[in-house]
Amino acid sequence: MLRLSLVALATVSALAPLAPAQVFDERFDDWPVRHRIGGVVAVAGSLDDVRALGDARLRLDEDARVLLLLEKGVDEPRVRQYRELLAGDDDSGRTLDVVRYGDSLPDDLVARLADCDALCWESVGAESRIGVPALAGVRDALAGLVDRGGLVLAVGPGARFLGHSHRTGDGPEAPVAPGLDLVPDTVIDTTYRGAEDRGELLGVLAPRQRLVGVGLAPGTALVLDRRRCRVVGKGTAEFLLMANDRQPVRAQTITPQRERRQSPKEYLVDLTEWRRDAIDRTLEPFPPAEPYAPVVENGTLLIVGGGGLPDGLIDRFIELAGGTEEARLVYVPCSERGDVGASQRTVEGWKQRGVKNATFIHTKDRLRANTDEEILGPLRGATGIWFGGGRQWNFADSYYGTEAHRLMKDVLRRGGVIGGSSAGASIQGRYLARATPIQNFEIMAPGYERGGLGFLGGVAIDQHFTQRGRQKDMTQLVDRYPQLLGIGIDETTALVVTKSRARVVGKGRVCFYDRRLPVVPGELDHVALPAGSEFDLVARQVTVDTRGAARGDGD
């Protein structure tokens, strides 16, 4: 035991020389305050027929009020196309207000925007006569229209203004000016010819590495719905991130969706993931070569692999939080929706067990998670927090780097307990595994790897492990990041962590991947431990091994 203690101490010193476990150094200001827009924004440099946008699911209500803003030169056949696109069926109560302009925008445009549900703006000619300086006067009204769930559609040369920045002309020397940022953190080239123009777009990104380049082919519309991008028309859109000293250029091309069974990667991009990846490329490397040690100095973690809870685990959670009389429990659901209702079954279940003080918090607004006492208040005195299942990137979007995040870590500092299942398991590591917003087949998600809440440093946690055949995924992750300890947890199975001691409970196994050990061809590259086994996370050693004993649910 003395030798094991010395090994553990040496490993802690090697892995975390600069900071103890549970330090709060995740930064709020690094990440977008808003991770999605409220409505729909569509842009196209040109479209042969705007009725193609009927495939874009523009989500116009049947009584929507539509403002059609047309530069002089847009002909009547084009107006008829807009009418057919926007009018709805025979019973529709939609109204269509057609306004034409010449060298200046209508004086009452701000008032019109406040009173409509959709703006369709088409400009003509080699250059739009209305530039960003004029549009800046109505930017707040445009943003307000999108915020309340409306539609902004721009077709023509002016469409590029809807990005964060835009080139004011053609060629590599064209100046770059601020845009309206309705398609946030992007530079949009609406006359993009693929490889022929890629160098110029990357040249714009080179000094602006926190922006996403979008190359949009002629005859194609980019449609941003909340946070997901798709294209309609006859061409493609290419998304680009600039290379840095650690990572190459990132590029992905999407096409219009042609069939239901088509892979979403072929026709969808999650813009928030790309915005986060652009930011991540400007920060210090992650995970660091020497990550924080996987030690819970105070308190306990309950990390469940999904698919149900081991027998007695909720009672153990309540006990660790202080018992039914003293526990102050907070449930954090994992949902992409802003409103999850006034009650949660998890909270009601706690109360049925006799817990006197139990509630839940939920927000999709990072500002609320950073300042609102309705969110922060329950966390200040909490003795136990439970994170629900779903898609773990939702937790990162809402809480990473916020005051709520800091208060969550304080629960452990006070000796409390934090638990979670499925997504609520993965989020407990500092590295966030399997956080791709579109599908969840990949274990590494650029832009979200830094999104874990970090209750346990130096690890990557995956769930539903054996049931979904995720062993090779974890192999891929630790091969890339050998400094991390990979942990894969089966369904109805939990890892109970205090200090560096991790005990397996439940029906399945927990797999540990340690790339400090050699990989022997033909043999498992991990150790799989059943209930009752224990693993020292710092020493990376099995300390209690029940593989040869009768299996049970031990605790």
Q: Calculate mean pLDDT across residues 248-269.
A: 94
Alpha carbons 178 and 132: distance in angstroms, whole number: 8
Average pLDDT over residues 127-134: 75
Residues pairing with 300 in the sheet: 417
Question: For residue 90, what pLDDT is reported?
Answer: 61
Predicted confidence (pLDDT) per residue in 380-417, tens digit = 999 999 999 999 999 999 999 999 999 999 999 999 99
Q: How many percent of the chain have pLDDT more than 70? A: 94
Of the pLDDT bands very low, low, confident and very high (cuts 50, 70, 90), residue 126 is low
315-339 residue pLDDT tens: 999 999 999 999 999 999 999 998 9
Lowest mean pLDDT among 32-36, 213-217, 359-363: 32-36
Q: Do 489 and 465 form a contact (C-beta atoms < 8 A)?
A: yes
Q: What Rg value do the Cα atoms of the chain yield, rounded?
A: 26
Query: What is the mean pLDDT of the segment spanning 470-482?
Result: 97
Q: Report whether 339 contacts 370 (CB < 8 A).
A: no
Q: Comparing C-alpha atoms, which of 183, 130, 187 is closest to residue 156?
A: 130
Neighbours of 5 (CB within 10 A): 11
Whether the pLDDT of residue 19 is over 50: the answer is no
For 125, residues 6+ apart whose C-beta sits below 8 A from its C-beta are 71, 73, 157
Dump pLDDT digits (tens) for 83-94.
999 876 666 788
CA distance 530 to 428: 21
- The pLDDT value recorded for residue 68 is 96
Q: What is the pLDDT of residues 26-49, one digit of tens each?
A: 999 999 999 999 999 999 999 999
Of residues 174 and 30, more confidently modeled: 30
Please give the Cα distance from 205 to 216 (Å, whole number): 16
Q: How far apart are CA 484 and CA 476, in angstroms?
A: 12
To 10 degrees, the CA torsion angle through 41, 47, 51, 56? -40
DSSP annotation string for 387-440: E-SS-THHHHHHHTTSHHHHHHHHHHHTT-EEEEETHHHHTTEEE--S--SS-S
Question: Residue 422 in contact with residue 493, Cβ under 8 Å?
Answer: no
pLDDT band at 461 (very low <50, low <70, confident <90, very high): very high
| 415 contacts: CB under 8 Å, gap ≥ 6 | 298, 299
Provide mean pLDDT across the span 518-532: 96
Per-residue pLDDT averaged across 78-106, rounded? 86
Q: Answer for the pair 362, 387: CB distance below 8 angstroms, yes or no.
A: no
C-alpha 484/C-alpha 487 separation (Å) is 9
| Short-list 503, 385, 387, 484, CA closest to 443 | 484
Q: How far is CA 455 from each of CA 114, 247, 477, rounded to the nearest angstrom?
A: 45, 28, 20
Closest by alpha carbon to 4, among 503, 542, 548?
Answer: 542
What size, in residues, is the chain?
555
The tokens for 253 are 């091309």
- Return the SS3 of 325: helix
How far apart CA 310 and CA 485 sit, in angstroms, is 24
Residue 416 CA to residue 529 CA, distance in Å, equals 26
Going 106 to 108 to 110 to 113, the CA torsion angle's sign is negative
DSSP-derived 3-state class of residue 352: helix
- Is the Cβ–Cβ distance between 252 and 238 less than 8 Å? yes
CA distance 96 to 115: 12
| pLDDT score recorded for residue 260 | 86
Confidence (pLDDT) at 45: 95
- How much of the chain exceeds pLDDT 90, in percent? 83
Give yes or no for a contact between 158 and 125, defined as CB atoms under 8 angstroms apart: no
**Of 275, 378, 301, 340, whose CA–CA distance to 36 is shortest?**
275
pLDDT at residue number 56: 74
Residue 105 near residue 134 (C-beta atoms within 8 A): yes
Q: Are 451 and 400 in contact (CB under 8 A)?
A: yes
Helices 403-413 and 373-380, packing angle to 10 deg:
10
- DSSP code per residue over 228-293: EEEEEESS-EEEEE---SSS--EEEEE----STTS-GGGT-EEHHHHHHHHHHTTSS-SS-SSPPP
Between CA 155 and CA 176 the distance in angstroms is: 20
- What value does the mean pLDDT of the chain take? 92
Query: What does the pLDDT read at residue 174?
Result: 82
In this prediction, residue 134 carries a pLDDT of 84
One-letter amino acid of 170: D
Token representation of residue 264: 């979403």
Q: Is the dihedral of CA 62, 63, 67, 70 positive or negative?
A: positive
pLDDT band per the 50, 70, 90 thresholds, residue 354: very high
Selection from 231, 241, 285, 287 nearest residue 262 by Cα: 231
User: By C-alpha distance, which of 407, 457, 410, 392 is closest to 430?
Assistant: 457
* Res 2: pLDDT: 34
- Secondary structure percentages of the chain, helix, strand, coil, to 5: 25, 25, 45
- Segment 540-549 shows an average pLDDT of 94
